[in-house]
Amino acid sequence: MSITPTDPVDAGATRSMPTRKSRRWSRKWRLGPGEDSLVRSFPVALYRANPDGRFSGPRHVNPALAGILGYDAAAFVENGALWASRIHEEDLPRVLSSLADSVQAGRFSSEYRWLCADGSERIFQDRGLVVRTDRNDDPPQIHGTCCDITDRRRLDRQLLWAHRLESLELFTQDFVHDLKNRLVVVLWNLDGMKRAVETGVSDGRERDRVTVALAGAEACSALIEQFHMMAQPSVHRVQALDLPALLQRMQRLLATVLGDDITLEIVTASSLPAVYSDQVQLESILIALATRSRNAMADGGGTVRIEAVHAAPWNGAAPPTPTSDFVEVIVKDTGPPDDPSLDAAHQWQHQLISGLLVQDGGEIVIGNEADGPRTVRLRLPCR
């Protein structure tokens, strides 16, 4: 990136007490012809940021993208603190943590939500390298790019939603059967009450009939609510989730996806903390992984085991205390190794899932040496 300094600007926007270093690094930058063409042609921004600060630094933002964000492109160059000030408050600590780690790693990578001037949200993916100068008193800087991936993430969710709808087609048959059976119980007891009222003859079972009818109606209502939640798309919303309860609610749906020939095992550790993720998104990811396992064992029976545990090192060492910052959902099946012809499709699916989890502060690990190729670990933050 050939960027050359020009006139300095007020560094007070990035630090309350500007120093000689901060004044030298908080400057306007003029892009070369190639970089300027890149910024004007694509929804990206080129930037320089201080890894020891609050992600502040000048950014050259595509003018059209700046318009979508609700700002003038020049504002991001003149005010180095503007970009970081609009990162979603739930994502900012994770971004700053990755920023601090980048000094040792030599590179920076993060994905986060950004608040536009009108209050709407966009999703950005940042990539950068740590650059050091020959001057001993110059702090390192990150030279990077950030790209608007809002539309890509929206398509990713739509693709996961397609897997969810496929599973709902199977679940609907069981749902209708159960709903019909429960309604029969309700109707039978209400019919008995009706006959007692019409004939004036009581057999002393009216209270029991009312109790059973109410219980049946409540069960029907719960079934309908569960189906509605599974079939209703929702806006992405990160919230605290009771993972054991979520897996318990999904057990029947996942078993339906797998079919009668495949055994489903769900095991949860005790005292698991709440995890933070989007519920619909997490459910859709589990359905997609169950579908992958079903396809791998299409020729015969097998077992799919879903386990929720406190986060542990990848080498299988003893898990940490229940106050761990992450919980793992381990999905493992007894199917054969993947068909090489499907590798590209599975890699694409894993990249899709990884992108969605990273946005919420999680990650996915597939088939390490200790687990074997048929194991997928979802690492979910507890905050």
Per-residue pLDDT of 234-291, as tens digits, reads 567 788 899 999 999 888 878 887 888 889 999 998 888 999 888 888 888 888 888 8
CATH of the domain at 273: 3.30.565.10
147 compared with 17, residue with greater pLDDT: 147
Domain boundary, last residue among 119, 148, 177:
148
Percent of the chain with pLDDT over 70: 72
Spatial distance between the Cα atoms of 23 and 12, rounded to a whole number of angstroms: 9
Please indicate, yes or no, whether residues 290 and 373 belong to a single structural domain of this protein: yes
- Cα dihedral 181/184/189/190 (nearest 10): 140
Per-residue pLDDT of 180-230, as tens digits, reads 777 888 888 888 888 777 787 777 777 788 888 888 888 777 777 767 666
Per-residue pLDDT of 155-169, as tens digits, reads 777 777 776 766 666
81 compared with 336, residue with greater pLDDT: 81
pLDDT at 20 over 60: no
Pairing state between β 107-115 and 121-131 = antiparallel
CATH of the domain at 18: 3.30.450.20
Give the highest mean pLDDT range of 44-58, 72-86, 122-136.
72-86
Please indicate, yes or no, whether residues 125 and 177 belong to a single structural domain of this protein: no
Please indicate, yes or no, whether residues 48 and 119 belong to a single structural domain of this protein: yes
What is the per-residue pLDDT for 361?
77
What is the per-residue pLDDT for 264?
92
Whether the Cβ atoms of residue 222 and residue 175 lie closer than 8 Å to each other: no
Please indicate, yes or no, whether residues 305 and 199 belong to a single structural domain of this protein: no
pLDDT level of residue 346 (50, 70, 90 thresholds) = low
Structural domains of the chain, count: 3
Please indicate, yes or no, whether residues 58 and 115 belong to a single structural domain of this protein: yes
Its pTM stands at 0.53
Please provide the average confidence, as pLDDT, over all residues in the chain: 75
In sequence order, what E strands does 50-189 have? 59-61, 107-115, 121-131, 141-148
Domain boundary, last residue among 120, 148, 176:
148
303 compared with 338, residue with greater pLDDT: 303
pLDDT level of residue 31 (50, 70, 90 thresholds) = low
Range of the domain at 156: 151-233
pLDDT at 298 over 70: yes
Domain boundary, last residue among 129, 148, 167:
148
Q: Which one, of 312, 334, 331, 332, lies nearest residue 321 by Cα?
A: 312
